[in-house]
């Protein structure tokens, strides 16, 4: 049985491709910015394309900061994409003085050694041995900033997948049924579809009370 899936209406993301990708997997997501729905949903997707400050302002204005923090802290099925994974962190160089959700102990920094910015393209994703949802493969990226590869991520139970574009950086983080991707799984062809399907399977298992 598919989980009840809610996409957060952030106002800074084009969600059409995300919705289409889930529909291809046989799941019909709902768009919502209602804190009660975000709190009660079986699974939640936090998408994002755009600026860190605008993304956090939207979450704060909609009253979504507390429910999203609680979901991740409880390990409830949550998928954060692109800007979404940066919002899980502490802060970003893109917006000095603006705090993120703070549920992942890492800061967002600008890519400095990439051949060109923004970075658009396909890169090889290499997960840690502890990753259970992210597998090796090529994914599509579109960004100028990325999470620090901080040792405190592992110390707080996060598994890390990495990639390289002029420099090594975090491609994805996962902990239980929570997955954050700097790349766009919805635009990453068969690789992204398989990743989303594995996350949905873990979400369904978590909703059934299984161990993820």
For the chain, residues with pLDDT lower than 50 are none
Q: Is 129 left (phi over 0), alpha (psi -120 to 50) or beta?
A: alpha
Looking at residue 169, which CATH number applies to its domain?
Answer: 3.40.50.880
Helices (H), 42-183: 52-61, 65-74, 83-87, 151-155
- Residue 130: how many CA atoms within 13 Å on its side-chain side? 12
Give a yes or no: residue 9 inside a domain. yes
Q: How many domains are there within the chain?
A: 1
Asked if 143 is an active-site residue, the reply is: no
Instruction: Check 76, 91, 165, 186 and give the catalytic one.
Output: 186
The DSSP line for 192-210 is HHHHHHHHHHHHHHHHTT-
From 119, 174, 184, 207, active-site residue: 184
Does residue 15 lie in a domain region?
Answer: yes
Q: Give CA–CA dist 95/90, Å, rounded.
A: 11
**Distance (Å, rounded) from C-alpha 42 to C-alpha 40?**
7
Q: Note the pLDDT of residue 143.
A: 95
> DSSP letter at 96?
T
Name beta bridge partners: 37: none
What integer pLDDT is reported at residue 13 of this predicted model? 67
Instruction: Give the model confidence (pLDDT) of 88-139 as tens digits.
Output: 999 999 999 999 999 999 999 999 999 999 999 999 999 999 999 999 999 9
According to DSSP, the residues that pair with 45 across neighbouring strands are 7, 79
Q: What domain range includes position 119?
A: 5-207
Identified catalytic residue from 76, 82, 181, 207: 82
State yes or no: is 82 an active-site residue.
Answer: yes
Closest C-alpha among 105, 29, 103 to residue 67: 103
User: Domain for residue 110, yes or no?
Assistant: yes
Q: Give just the sign of the alpha carbon dihedral 84, 9, 137, 28.
A: positive
Closest CA to 81 of 173, 160, 2: 173
Burial class (CB in 10 A: 0-12, 13-18, 19+), 51: middle
For the entire predicted model, the pTM comes to 0.95
Does 212 reside within a domain? no
* Domain-embedded: residue 104: yes
Q: Are strands 43-46 and 78-81 parallel, antiparallel or unpaired?
A: parallel
135 is catalytic: no
């Amino acid at each position: 049985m598919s989980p009840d899936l809610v996409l957060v209406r952030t106002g800074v993301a084009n969600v059409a491709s995300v919705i289409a990708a889930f529909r291809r997997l046989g799941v019909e997501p709902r768009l919502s910015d209602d804190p009660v729905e975000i709190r009660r949903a079986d699974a939640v997707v936090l998408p994002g394309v755009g600026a860190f400050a605008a993304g956090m302002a939207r979450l704060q204005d909609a009253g979504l900061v507390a429910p999203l923090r609680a979901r991740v802290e409880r390990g409830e099925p949550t998928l954060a994409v692109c800007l979404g994974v940066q919002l899980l962190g502490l802060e970003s160089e893109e917006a000095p003085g603006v705090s993120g959700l703070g549920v992942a102990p890492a800061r967002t920094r600008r890519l400095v050694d990439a051949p060109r910015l923004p970075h658009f393209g396909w890169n090889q994703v290499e997960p840690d041995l502890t990753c259970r949802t992210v597998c090796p493969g090529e994914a599509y990226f579109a960004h100028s900033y990325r999470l620090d590869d901080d040792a405190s991520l592992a110390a707080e139970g996060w598994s890390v997948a990495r990639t390289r574009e002029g420099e090594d950086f975090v491609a994805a983080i996962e902990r239980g049924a929570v997955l954050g991707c700097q790349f766009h799984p919805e635009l990453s062809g068969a690789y992204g579809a398989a990743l989303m399907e594995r996350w949905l399977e873990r979400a369904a298992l978590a909703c059934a009370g299984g161990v993820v």
